[in-house]
């Protein structure tokens, strides 16, 4: 007998972030952070002893690469020139929370963190 575990049914709640100032507001869908980005952030976190110790020169391009998948306008330069430091810090926290959260789901009332196909 074959057991099929369908991981395509895992579905996090949608997370959209608005960033920018004035007339330059952009939306970024951070519902799914690709595995490659999560692995790179994990490596940098281990290398520097915590995500908050990753140098801006590595963190900002990583955040930009994640955001660019949803919104091609977002680059490291865009983040550095269009956001305030508190906005950049907030975006970083949201990206990290999305990258490292556990999620399960579907549309049958499952709670985040529960696995639909144990």
Residue 112 lies in a domain: no
Please state the domain count of the chain: 1
Residue 114 lies in a domain: no
Q: How far apart are CA 27 and CA 64, in angstroms?
A: 13
Residue-number span of the structural domain to which 53 is assigned: 11-100
Residue 111 lies in a domain: no
Tokens of 88: 């950049």
Q: Tens digit of pLDDT per residue, the chain (118 long)?
A: 899 988 877 777 889 999 999 999 999 999 888 888 888 888 999 999 998 899 999 999 999 999 999 999 999 999 999 999 999 999 999 999 988 877 654 444 444 444 444 4
Q: In what helix (H) or strand (E) does residue 33 lie, and over which residues does it extend?
A: none
Residue 110 lies in a domain: no
């Amino acid at each position: 007998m074959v057991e099929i575990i369908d991981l395509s049914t895992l579905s996090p709640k949608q997370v959209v972030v608005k960033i920018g100032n004035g007339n330059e507001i952009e939306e970024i869908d951070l519902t799914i952070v690709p595995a490659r980005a999560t692995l790179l952030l994990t490596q940098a976190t281990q290398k520097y002893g915590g995500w908050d110790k990753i140098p801006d020169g590595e963190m900002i391009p990583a955040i930009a690469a994640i955001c660019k998948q949803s919104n091609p306008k977002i680059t490291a330069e865009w983040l550095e020139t269009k956001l305030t430091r508190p906005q950049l810090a907030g975006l970083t926290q949201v990206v990290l929370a999305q990258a490292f959260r556990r999620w399960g789901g579907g549309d049958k009332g499952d709670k985040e963190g529960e696995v639909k196909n144990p």
